[in-house]
Amino acid sequence: MNSADLPSCSNAVSFQSIFGPLNLDAEFPLAVGGDRHIFQHPNAPSLLVKVMDMKARARYLQARPFKRWYKQYQRESAYRVYLNEITEYVNTTTRPSGVWQVPLARILGVAQTSLGLGLLVEKITDDAGGIAPTVASLARQGRLDQALRARLDEFFEDLADAHVVLHDVSPSNIAYGRNADGKPGLYLIDGFGSLPLIPLYAWSRRLNRRRVRQKYAEMLASMERRAREAADRSA
């Protein structure tokens, strides 16, 4: 993180300004995912706060009785996703991989908010300081050119080299912008962490690399197909 963006933590008030409690009741989310809302941190420009959408989670579990049954015994409840992401972040950023900096949005910790426990993550920005566009939004704008494809090739190879386990390979989970240090590039902002009961891809770097490449190929093919369909409709 850029230390200039963070208040001094030399006293309790400054600490609370980062880690809460944070009042998000009157705030509008910058983005909405399948199960989380993403807010600007009210006191730190370089941070975002992810909070769980409990209504979306309830609807999801309502349609899955078995999953609803066994999840009632998980002490962390809906916040298990935070543990998965924090664990993956720690695992991939502490092992030598040949990747100088793993292309993940960095995780600071958790904070109490008025909407429940929030996950504090690095904000990837555009050149104006706003939230960076995702690869999905760039593709919809017709900007999936050869240069972006080359960057995506390198990005996914870096993820495989760092043995990052992905559970949702989606262009909506990849931001194209600058991290808190001002370094430009592609950054994974969601969809990482091992979910299966038998974590084969976490155990095997070789199997994970094969899966990352396969899922990337499927993602790229899907984006190109949608681009062709959009071009045909506008013709």
72-118: pLDDT as tens digits: 656 666 788 888 899 999 988 877 666 668 899 999 999 999 999 99
Instruction: Specify whether the CB–CB gap between 93 and 102 falls below 8 A.
Output: yes
DSSP-assigned letter for residue 142: T
Buried b (16+ CB within 10 A) or exposed e, 106-127: bbbebbebebebbbbbbbbbee
CA distances from 121 to 29, 51, 106, 198, 207 (A): 14, 11, 6, 28, 28
Share of the chain above pLDDT 90, in %: 55
Residue 227 makes CB contacts below 8 A (sequence gap 6+) with 139, 142, 144
Which CATH number goes with the domain that contains 123? 1.10.510
Q: Residue 191 region, left (φ>0) first, then alpha (ψ -120 to 50), else beta?
A: left
Question: What are the residues facing 118 on neighbouring strands?
Answer: 51, 111
Over residues 22-51, the mean pLDDT reads 91
DSSP-assigned letter for residue 129: S
Q: Domain total for the chain? A: 1
CA atoms within a 13 Å half-sphere pointing along the CA-CB vector of 55? 4
Instruction: Specify whether the CB–CB gap between 125 and 178 falls below 8 A.
Output: yes
Residue 7, token pair as written in the block: 């208040």
More confident residue, 34 or 111: 111
More confident residue, 46 or 57: 46
Task: Give the pLDDT of residue 231.
Answer: 76
Question: What are the residues facing 110 on neighbouring strands?
Answer: 119
Q: What is the mean pLDDT of the chain?
A: 85
Task: Give the pLDDT of residue 10.
Answer: 47
Task: Give the pLDDT of residue 69.
Answer: 53
Task: Give the pLDDT of residue 12.
Answer: 45
Do strands 116-122 and 174-178 pair parallel, antiparallel, or not at all (unpaired)?
A: unpaired
Q: Give the range of the structural domain holding residue 90, as residue numbers without chain letter.
A: 3-234
User: Is the pLDDT at 9 greater than 50, yes or no?
Assistant: no
Classified as helix, coil or strand, 104 is strand
Task: Give the pLDDT of residue 176.
Answer: 97
pLDDT tens for 160-218 read 999 999 988 999 999 999 999 999 999 999 999 877 667 889 999 999 999 999 999 99
